[in-house]
Structure 1
Amino acid sequence: MKTLYNFLTALIFVSFVVACKPVPTTPQASTDITGKTWKLTEINGQPIKLKDPKRNPFFKLNMASMRYEGNGGCNGVGGTFEIKPEAMRIKFNQGMSTMMACDDLETEQLFTKALLAADNYSVNGNTLTLNKAKMAPLAKFVLQ
């Protein structure tokens, strides 16, 4: 009987030690895209071509106000957005834009069009992709 008692005590002790041992984990990439500045790198599958690299289109999502703000390369853009992070769904609502005349408005127009057409997104490391349904990506961004 004493042997059985010692065996069960040892078994419980070993089980406790194994259960308390930390399990190594792999760091997970964050899929939270809010509060970060995202710089445009591709539009409709093509790398962007800028006359002035300092005027790279970008945007940022502010969860407190549920507003997005950014710049299309010349004009400021902004408006409201809706997001469902658990489903990686997003919707940019038509907002405002400044109306300055610029040399290169093509990239800016494609950037704005991609924001308004997007209905979902994906994140791979520091790369954000805005998509529409299951079609090819509309635009790709890198964390700035």
Structure 2
Amino acid sequence: MKKQLIYFWSLLTLILVVSCINKPASSETSNSITGKTWKLTEINGQPIKLKNPKANPYFTLNISDMRYQGNGGCNGVGGTFEIKQDVMRIKFNQGMSTMIACDDLETEQAFTKALLAADNYSLNGNILTLNKARMAPLAKFVLEK
């Protein structure tokens, strides 16, 4: 029994060491917008006004499969995206969305429209801004903690 425990702990230690050594360098650095949840705060320069504050639109970018997912307030949204973090370019591709009617449908539609229109972004601390060309920001988000 003692030999089995020693074998088990040795194997477990070896697995942990190998998994740490072989872990690829992550592109989700502290300056990255990927792997984080971004909560909508403004659309077209205006603070959002939600009838249901608990249903705040948000999205997350998953770099491993190049997919975004989130919620517009009552409907799930998702699809693929392309990103060039070194030049802060982004493109959200049309994806899927559920189609449930809700109180904040206007905000949800503006949120989805902003995602699909964005072609670049800026990051200032915990504030992410999605932009189109050099025009005013389409949407602002805060990092959800």
TM-score, length of structure 2 as denominator length: 0.78
- Whether the 8 Å CA contact 2:70–2:76 is kept in 1: the answer is yes
Count matched residues.
116
CA distance in 2, matches of 1:87, 1:41: 24
Aligned to 2:108: 108
Aligned to 2:69: 69
User: Which residues of structure 2 form unaligned runs of 5+?
Assistant: 1-28
Larger radius of gyration, structure 1 or 2?
1
Shift of 1:102: 1.1
Aligned to 1:125: 125
Residue identity in the other structure for 1:106: E
Give the 3-state SS of the residue equivalent to 1:110 in structure 2.
helix
Residue by residue, what CA displacement relative to the aligned partner does 1:36-61 show, whole Å, maximum 9, x if unpaired?
A: 00000000000000011110000000
Shift of 1:118: 0.1
User: Which residues of structure 1 form unaligned runs of 5+?
Assistant: 1-28
Aligned to 1:15: none
Residue identity in the other structure for 2:71: N
CA distance in 1, matches of 2:31, 2:121: 10
Q: After TM superposition, what 4+ stretches of structure 1 lie above 4 angstroms from structure 2?
A: none
CA distance in 1, matches of 2:53, 2:104: 12
- Whether the 8 Å CA contact 2:58–2:72 is kept in 1: the answer is yes
Give the 3-state SS of the residue equivalent to 1:55 in structure 2.
coil
TM-score, length of structure 1 as denominator length: 0.79
User: Identity rate of aligned residues, in percent?
Assistant: 83
Aligned to 1:34: 34
